[in-house]
Structure 1
Amino acid sequence: MGSQQILLVVVGVVIVGVMIAVGLFMFRDQAAATARDSISNDLVALATGSQKYYRRPSTFGGGGNSFGGLTMSKLTTRGSNANGDYALSPDPVPPGTTMITITGTGLETGNDGSTPVKLTMTVMADSILLVMNN
C-alpha cells in the first residue's frame, strides 16, 4: 500500500469514529428528553388526582378544600413505574395544607451526566408548577 492509501484509510477510520461518538451523544440526549417527557406526564396525572382530592368534600373521601390527609397511596397504587419513582412531600399531608410537592426521579442520566433525571411539581388548588432539576 502506498502512503496515500494509508492516509485515506486513517482519515476514513477517524471520520467513522467521530460519527459513532456523535451518534452515542445524540442517543443519550434523546433518552433523557424522553424520560423527562414521560415523568412530566406522570406528574401531571398525579397533580390532577391531587387537585381532585382537594376539591372533593371530606364526607366523600376528599380533602374538603385542603390537601390534608392526602397520601401517595390515595393517588396511585404504586409509587414507581417504568418511567421512574415518585414521592409526595409531605406524606401524609397535614390538615390545612394548601400546597404539596410531588417529585419524579427517572432511570435515565440527566443533564449533569451523573445523577438521574429529576422533576419537581408543586401543586396548588388551581395551578401546578413544574421544575426540571436535572
Structure 2
Amino acid sequence: MGQQQLLLIVLGVIIVGIAVVVGINLFNANATNANRDGVISDLNNLGAMAQQFYKKPTSMGGGGNTFTGWTIPTGLDSTANGTYSATVNAQSVTIPGLGTETGDDGTNPVGAQAVVGPTAITVTVTN
C-alpha cells in the first residue's frame, strides 16, 4: 500500500509539472500575439496621421498632397508596443515597427511594416 501511494504522489507531481509548462508556453504565445497586434495598431494609427498630413493644405500646416515633411510625432516613435521609424517619399511613407516580444523565429523581435499611400495603408507582418 505504501508503494502505491508513493507512485500516485509522483504521478500527481509529474502531471502538475506538465500542466505548469503548458500554461507558461500558452502565456508566452499569447504575449507574442498581443505585442504583434499592438505594433500593427500603432502602425495603422501612424499611417492615419501621415494621411491626415498628406490631405491637409500647406496653409494649415499639412503636406498639400505630398507626404514630404511628415515625421513621426514626438513620443510615438517609441511606445510600450515597440519602436518605429519612417522613410518618407512624396507619395508614400514606409514605417517599419519592431515590437518588444520575441517573434516567430525565436530570435528577433516581433516586426511589421506599414506602407502608407494617399488612400491606403498596407501592413505586412515581418516576424
What TM-score, normalized to structure 2? 0.90
The percent of aligned pairs where both chains have the same amino acid is 42
The 3-state SS of whatever aligns with 1:108 is: strand
Amino acid at match of 2:18: V
How far off is 1:18 after superposition?
A: 0.8
Partner of 1:77: 74
Q: Could you report, residue by residue, the CA deviation over 1:57-93 in whole angstroms, capped at 9, with x for unpaired residues?
A: 2232222211112222xxx1121011111111x2xx3
Give the deviation of 1:39 after TM superposition.
1.5
Gaps of 5+ in 1: none
User: Residue type matched to 1:127 in 2?
Assistant: A
**Alpha carbon RMSD of aligned pairs, Å?**
1.5
Query: 1:50 deviation in Å?
Result: 0.2
Give, in whole Å, the separation in 1 of the partners of 2:116 and 2:33: 23
CA shift for structure 1 position 126: 0.3
After superposition, the C-alpha distances for 1:29-76 in whole angstroms (9 at most, x for unaligned) are: 11111111222221111111100111112232222211112222xxx1
User: The residue matched to 1:18 in structure 2 has which SS?
Assistant: helix
Q: For 1:87, give the aligned amino acid.
A: S
Q: Which residue in 1 is equivalent to 2:21?
A: 21
**Which segments of 5 or more consecutive residues in structure 2 lack a partner in the other structure?**
none
Offset at 1:9?
1.9
Query: What amino acid is the match of 1:43?
Result: L
| Paired letter, 2:85 | A
Q: Which amino acid aligns with 2:125?
A: M
- 1:79-114 per-position Cα deviation (integer Å, ceiling 9, x unaligned): 1011111111x2xx35xx211111121111111222
User: What SS class does the counterpart of residue 103 from structure 1 fall into?
Assistant: strand
**Partner Cα separation in structure 2 for residue 16 and residue 112 of structure 1:** 29
* Aligned equivalent of 1:101: 94
Measured in 1, the distance between the counterparts of 2:57 and 2:97 equals: 28
- Could you tell me how far 1:5 is from its partner in structure 2? 2.1
